[in-house]
Structure formats: structure tokens, C-alpha cells
Amino acid sequence: MSKANFVQGEEFENLLIESLPLVVDYTATWCGPCRVISPLIDQLAGEYEGRANVVKIDIDQNKDNAKKYGIRSIPCVLIFKDGEVVENLVGKSPYNTFSEALEKHL
């Protein structure tokens, strides 16, 4: 089963220009709710492998990226399609919230 890997900088930019939808979980090690949804994001990565890219970004290590996309509260999951944000999900949510949001953009 695939897991959502942490990405930074250039790797993020390369995924952004791919044709597959990109799901980005903005997270931090100190964030309790982030730890709650982390296994759900990993599950999403496994279930949608080959149909979407699912990654995590640590906001403490990627402040510029978080600022660029207006991340003010975490956990925050953004879904990108064709390089643009098409979904913005903030806070803890059940798995189906993430999968249904992604399904709309496949």
C-alpha cells in the first residue's frame, strides 16, 4: 500500500504541472488533528495510486509554499487540477470527505 510522501520545493512544482490531480496535506509534527487525518491521507494515496498524486507538506519546513497558498489553519488539504486549487478542505474530516472531493476532479 502506497503512503503519501513528504515533498518540498521543486518536487512539489513538478507534481503541480503533471496531468494527474494533486492532493496536498499541509501538516506539522506538533499538530494533533494533523496526526488524526494522516492515516486517511495515506489511505487516499494507496487507493488513488496511478489516478492522483497524494503528498504531504510540512508547513514548518515549507513556509513559503504555505504562505503562497494562504494556509492559515492546519490540517488543510488542497486539491490541485491543472496547477490550480480546486478544493480547500480545512480541519479534521472523515475519509469519505477527502475521497469524494478528489473523485469530483478525476
d(CA 56, CA 4) in angstroms, rounded, equals 6
Query: Of the candidates 61, 90, 93, 62, which has an alpha carbon nearest to the alpha carbon of residue 78?
Result: 90
Which is catalytic among the residues 4, 34, 54, 66? 34
d(CA 49, CA 43) in angstroms, rounded, equals 10
Query: 3-state class of 81 per DSSP?
Result: strand
Task: Clarify whether 76 is annotated catalytic.
Answer: no
Task: Clarify whether 34 is annotated catalytic.
Answer: yes
Which is catalytic among the residues 15, 31, 37, 79? 31
Active site residues: 31, 34
